[in-house]
């Protein structure tokens, strides 16, 4: 419970880098204080919503004149994240050490299974 002197955004954590400020917001605060946080977003540019202390979502300031470019950038980010997860999974499974001959054998087996 906040004292009467506490800011409504006391649980919000901010990190600064040379170019901008990133604000971490617990999910509970995002739900309860969305309006105040959106006003803060207009100034800071980025919010990271956390769930149990783990980043769960990015909230970025939208550019109303160029939504298509924003969405294209977000799609590229999503693709990059998926690619990184696939590469990490392949490395963990040892696939990064496969020979070209072994890779071609895997491809041939997969194709034969589709017939």
**2, 10 Cβ separation under 8 angstroms:** yes
Three-class secondary structure of residue 11 per DSSP? coil
Q: Is the pLDDT of residue 4 over 60?
A: no
**63, 53 Cβ separation under 8 angstroms:** no
Tokens, residue 15: 């990190």
Say whether both 10 and 46 belong to one domain.
yes
Say how many domains are in the chain: 2
- pLDDT at position 64 is 87
The CATH number given to whatever domain includes residue 9 is 3.40.1620
For residue range 47-75, what is the model confidence (pLDDT) as tens digits? 899 999 899 999 988 888 999 999 999 99
CA distance 41 to 32: 15
Three-class secondary structure of residue 1 per DSSP? coil
Give Cα separations from 45 to 83, 87, 111 (angstroms).
26, 30, 47
For residue range 9-44, what is the model confidence (pLDDT) as tens digits? 445 555 544 455 678 899 999 999 999 999 888 887
Predicted structure pTM score: 0.59
User: For residue 85, what are the domain limits?
Assistant: 66-115
Say whether both 36 and 90 belong to one domain.
no
């Amino acid at each position: 419970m906040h004292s009467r002197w506490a800011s409504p955004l006391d649980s919000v954590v901010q990190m600064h880098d040379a170019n901008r400020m990133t604000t971490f917001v617990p999910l509970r605060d995002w739900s309860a204080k969305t309006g105040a946080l959106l006003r803060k977003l207009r100034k800071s540019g980025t919010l990271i919503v956390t769930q149990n202390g783990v980043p769960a979502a990015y909230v970025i300031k939208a550019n109303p004149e160029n939504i298509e470019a924003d969405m294209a950038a977000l799609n590229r980010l999503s693709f990059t994240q998926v690619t990184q997860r696939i590469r990490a999974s392949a490395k963990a499974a040892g696939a990064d050490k496969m020979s070209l001959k072994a890779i071609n054998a895997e491809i041939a087996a997969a194709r034969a299974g589709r017939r």
